Amino acid sequence: MRSPHDTIETTPGAEPTIELWYEVASPYSYLSVMRAEALAAAAGRRLVWRVFLLGPIFEAQLGSSDSPFNRNPVRGRYMWRDVERQCAKYGLPFRPPSRFPRASVLAARIAMLGEDEPWGGSFARAVLAANFAEDRDISRPEVVREILEQVALPADALIARAGEAPTKQQLRARTQDAAARDIFGAPTFFVDGEMFWGDDRLEDALAWPRRDA
């Protein structure tokens, strides 16, 4: 689970971080994207956003890019009920999306462009909420444009940048990086090189160094 990136993150004296690897179309990523920033701040860790695409991961590991929740409908039905309960527990709005999963490439590219910008968290939360609390079709460029305008961002410029070759290549490389780290689902967290999978492990991830100390 080590990489040059981890080595930098764990340099003594470096700012403590938690990486949140998420997919815009993933229901449990919605929970973590909405919860992580406040919890990370309370734990004294800076949240590092890492958006990626699950489709290529599922394709390589399972032989199909479709969601495992669709491939096993019994598990899928339970998942929607579970997400509804978890949202109620955390006080998050929830409406089951009328289409799942929604194509997330455009929204993911823009989220990636914002990861080191002050607006990154706001855009990520707005996109996931659009998908899982408002049933808006985030696969459509006009909906992505509305979301960008909603959080007061220059929609035309960002949508144009999202379509440029370097942006496309960066998201491909990001997803390859996710695979190289043995990510198999979303959300996934990294704290000091330790990997945690699932919204249920967010608190454990943030408590990790303290327990380890």
Pairwise CA distance, residues 93 & 87, whole Å:
6
Stretch of residues binding its own copies (CB under 8 A), selected from 8-16, 25-33, 169-177, 191-199: 191-199
Pairwise CA distance, residues 42 & 56, whole Å:
34
Stretch of residues binding its own copies (CB under 8 A), selected from 39-47, 144-152, 158-166, 189-197: 189-197
Choose among 4, 22, 2, 14: nearest CA to 185. Answer: 22
Examine residue 182 and tell whether it contacts its own copies (CB under 8 A). Answer: yes
Pairwise CA distance, residues 28 & 8, whole Å:
28
Q: How many CA atoms lie within 13 A of 159 on its CB side?
A: 14
- 63 by Cβ neighbours in 10 Å (0-12 / 13-18 / 19+) ranks as exposed
Task: Report the residue number, 47 or 57, with the smaller CB distance to its own copies.
Answer: 57
Task: Report the residue number, 141 or 185, with the smaller CB distance to its own copies.
Answer: 185
Which residue is listed with tokens 């939360």?
Answer: 125
* Least Cβ distance, residue 135 to its own copies (angstroms): 24
Amino acid at 15: E
| Site residues (CB under 8 A) for its own copies, limited to 71-130 | 71-72, 74-75, 77-78, 81-82, 85, 89
* Least Cβ distance, residue 47 to its own copies (angstroms): 21
Examine residue 70 and tell whether it contacts its own copies (CB under 8 A). Answer: no
Query: In the set 8, 41, 62, 173, which binds its own copies (CB under 8 A)?
Result: 62
Assess contact for 159 and 144: CB atoms under 8 A: yes
Question: Which residues are 19's β-sheet partners?
Answer: 48, 190
Query: In the set 65, 92, 204, 209, which binds its own copies (CB under 8 A)?
Result: 204
Amino acid at 207: A
Stretch of residues binding its own copies (CB under 8 A), selected from 8-16, 140-148, 160-168, 181-189: 181-189
* Least Cβ distance, residue 200 to its own copies (angstroms): 5
Q: Distance between the two ends of the chain, CA-based, in angstroms? A: 20
Instruction: State the residues that interact with its own copies by CB under 8 A.
Output: 61-62, 71-72, 74-75, 77-78, 81-82, 85, 89, 182, 184-185, 195-198, 200-201, 204, 211
